[in-house]
Amino acid sequence: MEISFHNNMFSLLLLLLPSLSFSPSAWAACNAVDKEALLGFKRTITADPSRLLQSWISSTDCCTSWKGVACNSVGRVVNVTRSGLVSDDDDLLDTFMNGTLSPSLGNLSYLQLLDLSNLKNLNGPIPPEFGKLRRLTYLFLNSNQLTGSIPATFKHLSRLERLFLNNNYISGIIPFSVIGSLTALTELGLSENQLRGSIPATIGKLVLLTKLDLHANNLSGSLPTTIGKLKSLKYLDLSQNTIKGSIPKSIGGLSALVLLDLNQNQITGSIPSSISGLISLQFCRISENKLTGSLPPSIGHLPSIQRLILENNKLTGKLPATMGHLVTLTELFLSNNRITSKIPSSFSNLQNLQTLDLSRNHLSGELPTELAKLQNLQTLDLSFNPLGLVSIPKWFAKLKLFRLMLAKTGIRGSLPRWLSSTSISMLDLSDNALTGKLPPWIGNMTSLSLLNLSNNGLHSSIPAEFKNLRRLMDLDLHSNKFSGNLDTIFSKGTDDPIGHYNSIDLSDNMFAGPINDSVLQSSAMDSITSLVLSYNLLKGSIPKSIRKLSELRILKVVSNGLSGKIPVELGDAMGLTTILLSRNNLMGSIPGKVINLNELKEFDVSHNQLRGEIPPHKAIIPVSSFIGNPGLCGAPLPPCERS
């Protein structure tokens, strides 16, 4: 969930604000100073393809004839709205302007609204003269290419209620004096810029603030304790910065807060117990940080929470049983921490839970059977925990799961047959100790889009019923003991527009026989991007039909028994970045068309029987990629002998 306050919709709404719309027919003509200020801006615009300023002509009245301009009863300009996202006869037009902000706009001394947002190519600094706009209430300059710093003169804009400078290239610090002076602000958007330094402690003076968005900058320092004074704050997004230090206890004072996003920072310390004060909080993301310590029991007292995302930290200790009180919770992400002990049975109270991701922790012990009550659960990921499951609990069959991820959880034996009657779309049972055959009933799992059974002890050929997996798009069977040919996998059915493979990894098995030329042309293979067949017993030549795989990026067929030539047709798969064909019995020369593919980054044909001169090539390919071919010569190998 990304919350952004670029709010192009503000521009559209403000066009309709009755308080700023006037009918000037019986009023004074446009003030000469204001008209010249606007013409000064027009002169700094070098491109206006949608003619947003076409009506701005010096011979006409700017109050009655100029689009995007509104005046008061004495002919003073109070509203300038020329956004790049404009409404025209009930349609939205997305346009741009080239040029800069003219200092002359600072002469619009009665201006209340200035919206030049979303013009894309508006560049240069914000003129310090804008600090003269003492009556300004709304300033929207977001989604441009503005540079320079936030003018210190903004401290004079004491009436400003909404300020959006986000999605530009503004740098420097957030001036303490400016922030402390804008006490009328209700919404502040400075995100997606290049701002650095600390968040000013003076932020605590903005007691009317409801939205604060500073995400995607280079802000550092710690969170000021004064942030707890913002009792009206509903949205706080400080994600994608380098903020350090701990979360201040004062954050518990933000009782109106609906969204808290501190994702991708360097925040340390534990989650304060005062978090229970966030009684309105619905979305909380503090992932990708360095949080330590246990989850406080008070985290179970967030009566409105829906999404709680704390993954990729260093959290330890047990899961508090109090989390079972979070009955409004729909998504819980705690993956990649160091949480220990069992999953509390109280989690069965989370009746609205749709996603539970506890993967990559140190959870152990028996899974509580009460979790079968979670009838809204769609995604369950317990992967990479030392659960010692032995088998997948039978009560899982009572769940209505869409995604089931149990990689490296200690599962042994054969695949349980009850899986065949589920509607699971994504199944990951990799890195376990599964044995036996891939059963024919796998063909009944017709909802499967991803199947990962890699790194187990499964054997047998692929059953013919596999062709029924018409929605399967990602298949990973690497590091098993599968045998037989590849035809069943490659020629399975599709359920258009889905069911066309994205990726296949069959490496480290015992698949044998040739790669059938015709099955590579099946509809299931027509959009594949990654094909990994290394370390099998494949024979025959590389099919020429590989040219049809136009989306192919990665091809790995290392250490098989392939023979024949490298087909020049491989060069028709224009998107290839990786070609690994080492340790086969390939003969002939290296086609120049293949080694000169534009996107090629990795190429290895070592330990084959290739001969001739290596064609000149642009990619940087090491010597090791060609060794073991006694007949090859030319850079980067020694030069060919000339007769």
In a domain, 262, yes or no: no
* Per-residue tokens: 7: 């709010």
pLDDT value of position 167: 98
Of 371, 384, 435, which Cα lies nearest the Cα of 410? 384
| Number of structural domains found in the chain | 1
Residue 205 has pLDDT above 60, yes or no: yes
Q: C-alpha dihedral over 485, 489, 491, 497, to 10 degrees?
A: -170
**Residue 232 DSSP symbol:** T
Nearest by Cα to 535 from 504, 561, 558, 563: 558
Quick: pLDDT tens for 486-536: 999 999 999 999 999 999 999 999 999 999 999 999 999 999 999 999 999
Q: Which two tokens stand for residue 462?
A: 């692929």
Biggest distance spanned by C-alpha atoms of the chain:
98
* C-alpha to C-alpha distance for 329 and 179, rounded to whole angstroms: 35
Q: What is the pLDDT of residue 24?
A: 41
**By C-alpha distance, which of 263, 255, 299, 262 is closest to 281?**
255
What backbone torsions phi and psi does residue 510 show, to the nearest 5 degrees? Answer: -130, 35
Query: Which spans in 74-223 are helix H?
Result: 176-181
Q: Which two tokens stand for residue 196?
A: 């650095």
d(CA 549, CA 529): 8
Model confidence pLDDT, tens digit, residues 425-476: 999 999 999 999 999 999 999 999 999 999 999 999 999 999 999 999 999 9
Span 373-399, average pLDDT: 96
pLDDT in tens, 106-156: 999 999 999 999 999 999 999 999 999 999 999 999 999 999 999 999 999
Q: What is the predicted pLDDT for the residue at 641?
A: 87
Cis check: omega of the bond before 636, within 30 degrees of 0: yes
Rg (Cα) of the chain, in Å, rounded?
32
pLDDT in tens, 538-572: 999 999 999 999 999 999 999 999 999 999 999 99
Task: Give the H/E segment covering residue 579.
Answer: strand 578-580
Beta strands in 407-456 (DSSP E): 412-413, 426-428, 433-437, 450-452
Handedness of CA 430, 434, 436, 442 (dihedral sign): negative
Average pLDDT over residues 582-605: 97
Question: Residue 459 domain-assigned?
Answer: no
* DSSP, res 258: -
Burial of 232 (0-12, 13-18, 19+ CB in 10 A): middle
Residue 549: predicted pLDDT: 95
Residue 22 has pLDDT above 70, yes or no: no
User: Does 325 fall in a domain?
Assistant: yes
Structure confidence at residue 643 (pLDDT): 62
Q: Which residue has the tokens 């930290």?
A: 313
Q: What is the pLDDT of residues 36-93, one digit of tens each?
A: 999 999 999 999 998 999 999 999 999 999 999 999 999 999 999 999 976 655 566 7
For residue 379, pLDDT over 60 is answered with yes
d(CA 299, CA 322): 7
Reference 166, options 140, 147, 191, 138; nearest CA is: 191
Stated pTM of the model? 0.91
Alpha-carbon distance of 165 to 150, in angstroms, equals 9
Residue 15: pLDDT band (50, 70, 90) is very low
Which amino acid belongs to residue 280? Answer: S
In a domain, 150, yes or no: no
- Sign, CA torsion 23/25/26/27: positive
The 10s digit of each residue's pLDDT in 163-193 is: 999 999 999 999 999 999 999 999 999 999 9
Query: What does the alpha-carbon distance between residue 160 and residue 470 come to, in Å, rounded to a whole number?
Result: 58
502 vs 416: CA distance, rounded Å: 27
Residue 642: pLDDT band with limits 50, 70, 90? confident
368, part of any domain? yes
The whole-angstrom separation of Cα 384 and Cα 337 is 11
For residue 499, the model assigns a pLDDT of 97
414: tokens are 């054969």
- Provide the pLDDT for residue 85: 79
Instruction: Give me 594's structure tokens.
Output: 């293949």
Q: What is the pLDDT of residue 92?
A: 61
Report how far residue 56's alpha carbon sits from residue 97's, in angstroms, rounded to the nearest whole number.
15
Alpha-carbon distances, residue 221 vs 201, 287, 428, 519, 541 (angstroms): 11, 18, 41, 58, 60
- CATH number where 352 lies: 3.80.10.10
Taking the alpha carbons of 516, 520, 521, 525 in that order, is the dihedral positive or negative? positive
Q: Coil, strand, or helix at residue 598?
A: coil
Position 27 scores a pLDDT of 65
Beta strand 85-88 with 91-94 is antiparallel
Q: Is residue 322 part of a domain?
A: yes
The answer to whether residue 12 scores a pLDDT higher than 90 is no
Secondary element (H or E) of residue 609 = strand 609-613
**Measured at the alpha carbon of residue 30, what is the angle toward residues 28 and 33, in degrees to the nearest 5?**
130
Mean pLDDT for 342-351 is: 97
pLDDT of residue 90: 59
- CA-to-CA distance for 557 and 559, rounded, in angstroms? 7
pLDDT > 80? residue 260: yes
Phi, psi of 6 (to 5 degrees): -65, -35
Say which amino acid occupies 95. Answer: T
590-625 residues labelled b (16+ CB within 10 A) or e (exposed)? bbeebbebeebeebbbbbbebeebbeebeeebeeeb
Does some domain include residue 360?
yes
Cα–Cα distance, 439 to 96 (Å, whole number): 59
Helix ranges (H only) for 472-553 are 487-490
Tell me the C-alpha distance between 475 and 359, whole Å.
21
What pLDDT sits at residue 89? 59
Which of 89-98, 208-217, 495-504 is predicted least confidently? 89-98
What CA–CA distances, in Å, run from 456 to 408, 432, 436, 438? 10, 5, 10, 11
CA 579/CA 555 separation, integer angstroms: 5
pLDDT, mean over the chain: 94
Residue 559 to residue 628: CA distance in whole angstroms? 13
Provide the residue range defining the domain that includes 354: 313-387
In a domain, 346, yes or no: yes
Task: Spell out the residues 6+ positions from residue 231 whose beta carbon is closer than 8 angstroms to its own.
Answer: 207, 253, 254, 255, 256
What residues contact 91, with CB distance under 8 A and at least 6 apart?
A: none
